[in-house]
Amino acid sequence: NVVQHLQNTDLAALPSLIAHTNPRALDQWSHAQKLLLGEGRTRGMGSGGDPDLGRQAAEDTRLAIAQFCKDADLIFVVTGLGGGTGSGAAPVIARIAREANCLVLCLATLPFDFEGSRRREQARAGMRDLRLASDAVICLPNQRMTAIFDQNTPVRDAFKLANNLLAQGVRGIWQMLTRPGLVNVDFAYLYSVVRGKNAES
């Protein structure tokens, strides 16, 4: 959803990859490169909300992920945590990107309370793995956005706002690196500041 939003901005030309364990989730998008994770393992039926299966599916597709990361300096991993693909596969993707010597910045959402305790616990575990696998993580707890909603806000609109905020995060960091401003930050400086900091903590 975030990648689709970015297709309507000045970042549309950036290489992007939508990875999922469920082919139906990929079918709805047409503007980005798509990768079905672990097709032989999941038999095209998704991860069933199981992070272990999501993790194995990403490992099965390691070569294709590494190929996408080849020659890149910076990789954004954008994911929603709580389900099988986000909590299981996203940390694997981040680790593969780091092994390709990319600087890996992750933007992740945590579930709304109404999504249940199982997704909440899986999201916490996924966040822990994501922090270990990447250079920096920006976290957006969806539940905090309820402060700006009224009780009649449709669930679809709540998720849409979360996706828009993640897209703005990607766009903001990219503009910081590529456009002149009051304080200029180049990639080399960002790399020196965040590279490996999560692994040290």
pLDDT averages per 10-residue partition of the chain, 201 residues: 73 82 83 86 86 95 95 90 94 96 90 90 96 89 75 76 76 71 54 58 41
HSE-up of 67 (CA within 13 Å, CB side)? 7
| Residue 32 contacts residue 3 (beta carbons within 8 Å) | yes
Residue 141 CB contacts under 8 Å (≥ 6 apart), including other chains: 109, 110
pLDDT of residue 140: 84
For residues 36 and 23, is the Cβ–Cβ distance under 8 A? yes
pLDDT (0 to 100) of residue 153: 74
- Positive or negative: CA dihedral 126, 132, 133, 138: positive
pLDDT on residue 129: 96
Instruction: State the pLDDT at residue 165.
Output: 75
pLDDT at res. 141: 84
- Residues contacting 169, CB < 8 A, separation 6+: 107, 138, 140
Cα–Cα distance measured from residue 127 to residue 121, given in angstroms and rounded to the nearest whole number? 10
150-159 long-range contacts, CB within 8 A, separation 24+: 158/112, 159/1
pTM: 0.81
